[in-house]
Chains A and B, each alone.
Chain A
Amino acid sequence: MSNATRRIEAVNDFVVKFANVNGSGSASANEMFAKSFLRMGIPVSPRNIFPSNIQGLPTWYEVRVTEKGHLGRRGGVDMMVAMNPQTWDKDIAEIEPGGYLVYDSTKPMPPSRFRPDIHVIGVPLTEMCNAAYSDPRERQLLKNIMYVGALAHILGIDPEVIPQLLGEQYKGKDKLMTPNLDALRKGMHFASEHLDDICGLKVRRAANVGNRIFIDGNSAAALGAVYGGATVCAWYPITPSSSVAEAFQKYCSKYRTDSDTGRNRYAIVQAEDELASVGMVVGAGWNGARAFTATSGPGISLMSEFIGLAYFAEIPVTIIDVQRGGPSTGMPTRTQQSDILACAYASHGDTKHVLLLPEDPAECFEFTAQALDLADRLQTPVFLMTDLDIGMNQRLSRPFEWDDSRKFDRGKVMSAEQLESGVDFGRYLDVDGDGVAYRTYPGTHPTRGSFFTRGTTKDRYARYSEAGPDYVDNMERLLRKFETAKTLVPKAIERKAPGKTRVGAIYYGSTSPAMAEASEVLDAQTAHVDTLRIRAFPFGPEVEQFLEEHDTVFVVEQNRDAQLRTMLMTELDAESSKLVPVLHYDGTPITARFIVKEIAARVTGANVESIQRGKAA
């Protein structure tokens, strides 16, 4: 509480965290707070940290304000807005020394509840709300926008920006607009009267947002499914993936309704479980519709039998796996990259599946549309491996793009005319040598092209067979098909360090922003590390080359068992001794601080002594 303590002074580079009670209506006010920086040209990276609960449990919203555009989680809190008595002590403890605490000062708190090395900012929110509003619900809800008003003044947010955002959100809803605007102004007013120059965290207009958009990965993936031509979506609710199907519904009702008849150019079924949801996708894919499901780890476990069927019977299936903490129910509201192995080799028997690994909403959009193409082209399951961090948090992302001349790649489908012309149709006949055979949609031709789809072994003409040579022939072709997949999936992206180095780092998915920031830090320390962002499985030749060109390769992942590292060893015969795992798996998003800490010591040491093997986390 002492004014003599150091004050954190920072412009456009700090972390504000809100501690709220789940269900108290804080989410939209907090989101508006985050968006106000974007309108001032300053990038932000907000994250929901929420419980598996609807009402009553603690929830947090963390906003990283970052002029430099570091969109990973930073770690540490410069200002805590402590609105939840349940978590008070823990929240106070989290504030960096010299940081700030904003709290509802209606009831006096004993000094023992504060910390001497932080600065306390009291706003009598309850008192002000009770004085201004009579409706008990308004009294509760409007506290949220009121503290946003106070913060706007304290931090120096342009006073016109938030009213403008309110106007957009409550367009045509004056009943909501009026009290919210009033509460916002009351918060601002109080701060201007009592809290001038109380805080060293400041905002200054910048021009670093550009034309970027602000959206969560699940919505982006859903939009990708709309643009990619998905017509059937079957799903079962599971955190953190439910909003994919919900967003698909929302977009479809806007963009996929026939204007003449009012009827839908899509079908969405909330299935009874994940077995049924993927079963419907298999059925729709078999029958020539583009279909997808969205799920998370437990759903993948349930879907495994069907995934094997789709692999072996060669049916296009697109599965969006928004990963969460496993195993079992694990951490349903926390993030991880721990389904990689389970998806790459899902189901019993010998299987390999195509995985796409998007880094942000823009790639969620692109890769979902591409997954639908790849599933049709390769006639196999394709997984979009996102996670809670990308999926459920709004992220600043380059805008979506679409080329109107782009056609859906429906893959090798034989038409009635082709069948009529008398071409030799064998459902599993590899006529082009790429491992992908022609298929026919049911109902195509009265006497030609029908076949019996089954999960049992068959010959090239889809006839039941348990003969060893038929089985081996089929399995070898499936491997050829996987080789073909290598040429079609997104390539890994390499970033060269400023100085020549034999040290590299491989990473993927939501680790991306933290890795990019870590690279800047490592560059500045002249600890040179080339990086490679893997965007798909199977791995292309560029991944092999990267491994060849580096003696030590850190494999940065958000799981315990270094799953991608295992795949690099299995698929590319990479030496285990040169692949050093860097693993972050406590359920929070990985940070640049963590990566730098793990890598820096080893890299500087790498010039003089050999790299320590073993787990780095």
Chain B
Amino acid sequence: MTYLAKPKLHHPTLPRNTIGYTRRDYEGKISTLCAGCGHDSISAAIIQACWELDVEPHRVAKLSGIGCSSKTPDYFLGNSHGFNSVHGRMPSVLTGANLANRDLIYLGVSGDGDSASIGIGQFAHAMRRGVNMTYIVENNGVYGLTKGQFSATADQGSKSKRGAVNTDSPIDMVSLALQLGATLVGRSFSGDKDQLVPMIKAALAHPGAAFIDVISPCVAFNNHAGSTRSYEYVREHNEAVNRIDFMPRHEPIGAQYEPGSTIDIAQHDGSMLRLRKLHAEYDPSNLIAAMNYIQEHQARGEIVTGLLYVDPAADDLHGHLNTVESPLNSLDEAQLCPGNTMLERINQSLR
């Protein structure tokens, strides 16, 4: 019901997080996407994750490219600055924004067309630079806004709504991200909020390049028989390797699990990722094993989901560039301009 204005009323009994915000404070405008769109579930998961994480909404910068997925930043975190940039170029704009102010949390939202087709170069380079960001690809295998063309993540042999068969090999964004040096990589399903919300929390708290591929069925153009991105298909083929609990540093370590069934991963900021292992042999701290596991299961037609890889010692681009602690956009003349006396010396050296 996108034509109805959203009531601004806050119910007094709405629960507040530790910094005093209700979930409503993390919402945005009413979505203009189709009813039942997987992307709206992801927006809801982002709202939930930010609320649970006690993030101040205005300290998040949300950036996107062009397409259905890239419209969504308007539909969450209404008190955050948003930037709907150009097609496939969110990563570079986000990189620049991040360089300007390292103190904000950067959330990049993109789609499979935006990131795997036109923007694959920028996706690759943002990952390899270690830009401290959460990069979410809302992956439906199809161009929605232009009405149903295949994207580069569409599986070979999958059928479009009009009956055309995709003959090109698919790009697996997760495998690429692992290979390119992303330091937190996960895959989830828009229909699996229990898995997705803690994964987004883990990514937002991660101090490096975090990538999440979210399978997000397109109800208008990719939710039919023959599609490999439909709700039904993904539910049948989903192979979850773990469930995450994300524990911020001020939270005591919670319920105990049977030995061997959990892995605790401490992040730089003191937060803890607790993984409840669903597949005993899966080790998310081993990059090579993760890559093998994903490839093997992919060959069997299974979509592996969960936190697939995390490097708890991750660094970011600011670390690589050795920039000062203060945001670069806050530096003033005294810190930036060497002044006239120095210029006189420079002049003298050029004579």
Which residues of chain A have a CB within 8 Å of any CB of chain B?
A: 38, 211-215, 223, 226-229, 231-232, 234, 255-256, 258, 261-269, 271-273, 275-289, 291, 305-306, 309, 399-404, 406-408, 440-447, 450-456, 464
- Say whether A273 contacts B121, CB under 8 Å: yes
> Smallest distance from the beta carbon of A11 to chain B beta carbons, Å?
23
B residues in contact with A440, CB < 8 Å: 81
- Say whether A271 contacts B92, CB under 8 Å: yes
- Say whether A283 contacts B347, CB under 8 Å: no
- Say whether A288 contacts B336, CB under 8 Å: no
Which residues of chain B have a CB within 8 Å of any CB of chain A?
A: 56-59, 61, 63, 73-74, 78-86, 89, 91-101, 103-104, 121-122, 124-125, 129, 317-318, 321-325, 328-329, 331-333, 335-340, 342-343, 346-347, 350-351
- Say whether B58 contacts A447, CB under 8 Å: yes
- Say whether A226 contacts B101, CB under 8 Å: no
- Say whether A214 contacts B351, CB under 8 Å: yes
- Say whether A231 contacts B329, CB under 8 Å: yes
> Smallest distance from the beta carbon of A422 to chain B beta carbons, Å?
16
Q: Give complex CA distance A272, B129 in Å.
A: 11
Most chain A beta-carbon contacts within 10 A, residue among B74, B322, B328: B328
- Say whether A289 contacts B100, CB under 8 Å: yes
B residues in contact with A453, CB < 8 Å: 81-85
Of B58, B82, B83, the residue contacting A444 (CB under 8 A) is B58
- Say whether B99 contacts A269, CB under 8 Å: yes
- Say whether B100 contacts A229, CB under 8 Å: no
- Say whether B89 contacts A279, CB under 8 Å: yes
Q: Give complex CA distance A592, B321 in Å.
A: 47
- Say whether B343 contacts A267, CB under 8 Å: no
Whether A287 touches B96, Cβ cut-off 8 Å, given contacts A227-B338, A309-B86, is: yes
Which B residue sits closest to A272, measured CB to CB?
B125
Q: Give complex CA distance A400, B340 in Å.
A: 9
Which A residue sits closest to B347, measured CB to CB?
A399
Whether A456 touches B84, Cβ cut-off 8 Å, given contacts A214-B350, A280-B99, is: yes
Which B residue sits closest to A365, measured CB to CB?
B343
- Say whether A256 contacts B336, CB under 8 Å: yes
- Say whether B322 contacts A263, CB under 8 Å: yes
Q: Give complex CA distance A445, B351 in Å.
A: 50
- Say whether B125 contacts A265, CB under 8 Å: no
Most chain A beta-carbon contacts within 10 A, residue among B78, B121, B336: B336
Of B79, B93, B333, B347, the residue contacting A400 (CB under 8 A) is B347
Q: Give complex CA distance A309, B81 in Å.
A: 17
Of A212, A262, A283, A407, the residue contacting B333 (CB under 8 A) is A407
What are 18 inter-chain pairs, A to B, with CB distance below 8 A? A213-B350, A231-B100, A231-B329, A232-B96, A232-B328, A266-B328, A271-B125, A272-B122, A280-B92, A289-B328, A400-B347, A404-B340, A441-B101, A442-B101, A443-B61, A443-B103, A450-B81, A452-B73
- Say whether A287 contacts B97, CB under 8 Å: yes
Q: Give complex CA distance A142, B180 in Å.
A: 47
B residues in contact with A443, CB < 8 Å: 58-59, 61, 81, 101, 103-104
Q: Give complex CA distance A446, B55 in Å.
A: 11
Q: Give complex CA distance A142, B96 in Å.
A: 46
Of A232, A275, A452, the residue contacting B82 (CB under 8 A) is A452
Of A283, A400, A444, the residue contacting B94 (CB under 8 A) is A283
- Say whether A264 contacts B337, CB under 8 Å: no
- Say whether B338 contacts A255, CB under 8 Å: yes
Most chain A beta-carbon contacts within 10 A, residue among B78, B121, B318, B346: B346
Q: Give complex CA distance A441, B61 in Å.
A: 10
> Smallest distance from the beta carbon of B57 to chain A beta carbons, Å?
7
Q: Give complex CA distance A283, B122 in Å.
A: 14
A residues in contact with B340, CB < 8 Å: 401-404
Apart from A287-B97, A446-B56, A447-B79: 4 A-B pairs, beta carbons within 8 A: A211-B347, A286-B97, A402-B337, A451-B82
Which A residue sits closest to B336, measured CB to CB?
A229
Could you count the A-B residue pairs with CB atoms below 8 Å apart for me: how many are there?
Answer: 229
Q: Give complex CA distance A606, B183 in Å.
A: 73
- Say whether A450 contacts B342, CB under 8 Å: no
A residues in contact with B94, CB < 8 Å: 283
Q: Give complex CA distance A124, B49 in Å.
A: 79
- Say whether B323 contacts A282, CB under 8 Å: no
> Smallest distance from the beta carbon of B25 to chain A beta carbons, Å?
9
Most chain A beta-carbon contacts within 10 A, residue among B58, B73, B104: B58
> Smallest distance from the beta carbon of A402 to chain B beta carbons, Å?
5
Of B81, B86, B121, B324, the residue contacting A265 (CB under 8 A) is B324
Which B residue sits closest to A220, measured CB to CB?
B350
B residues in contact with A215, CB < 8 Å: 350
> Smallest distance from the beta carbon of B324 to chain A beta carbons, Å?
5
Which A residue sits closest to B121, measured CB to CB?
A272
- Say whether B101 contacts A267, CB under 8 Å: no
B residues in contact with A256, CB < 8 Å: 336
Q: Give complex CA distance A231, B96 in Å.
A: 11
> Smallest distance from the beta carbon of A365 to chain B beta carbons, Å?
9
Whether A408 touches B96, Cβ cut-off 8 Å, given contacts A289-B101, A306-B89, A444-B58, is: no
- Say whether A213 contacts B347, CB under 8 Å: yes
> Smallest distance from the beta carbon of A185 to chain B beta carbons, Å?
25
- Say whether B329 contacts A213, CB under 8 Å: no
- Say whether B58 contacts A279, CB under 8 Å: no
- Say whether B85 contacts A279, CB under 8 Å: yes
- Say whether B122 contacts A400, CB under 8 Å: no
Q: Give complex CA distance A329, B63 in Å.
A: 34
- Say whether B100 contacts A452, CB under 8 Å: no
A residues in contact with B351, CB < 8 Å: 38, 211-214
- Say whether A282 contacts B93, CB under 8 Å: yes
- Say whether A288 contacts B101, CB under 8 Å: yes
> Smallest distance from the beta carbon of A202 to chain B beta carbons, Å?
24
- Say whether B100 contacts A451, CB under 8 Å: no
B residues in contact with A231, CB < 8 Å: 99-100, 328-329, 331, 336
A residues in contact with B96, CB < 8 Å: 232, 234, 279-287, 289, 291
- Say whether B321 contacts A267, CB under 8 Å: yes
Most chain A beta-carbon contacts within 10 A, residue among B91, B329, B339: B329
- Say whether B350 contacts A261, CB under 8 Å: no
> Smallest distance from the beta carbon of B99 to chain A beta carbons, Å?
4
Which A residue sits closest to B28, measured CB to CB?
A452
B residues in contact with A223, CB < 8 Å: 346
> Smallest distance from the beta carbon of B106 to chain A beta carbons, Å?
10
Q: Give complex CA distance A258, B326 in Å.
A: 11
- Say whether A441 contacts B328, CB under 8 Å: no
Of A265, A275, A286, the residue contacting B83 (CB under 8 A) is A286
- Say whether B82 contacts A255, CB under 8 Å: no
Q: Give complex CA distance A331, B345 in Å.
A: 37
Whether A279 touches B333, Cβ cut-off 8 Å, given contacts A231-B100, A452-B82, is: no
Of B56, B85, B93, B323, the residue contacting A264 (CB under 8 A) is B323
Which B residue sits closest to A452, measured CB to CB?
B82
Q: Give complex CA distance A116, B58 in Å.
A: 81
Of A213, A282, A401, the residue contacting B85 (CB under 8 A) is A282
Most chain B beta-carbon contacts within 10 A, residue among A227, A287, A452: A287
Q: Give complex CA distance A215, B79 in Å.
A: 49
Q: Give complex CA distance A36, B343 in Å.
A: 23
Which B residue sits closest to A463, measured CB to CB?
B29
Q: Give complex CA distance A227, B344 in Å.
A: 13
A residues in contact with B82, CB < 8 Å: 450-453
- Say whether B321 contacts A276, CB under 8 Å: no
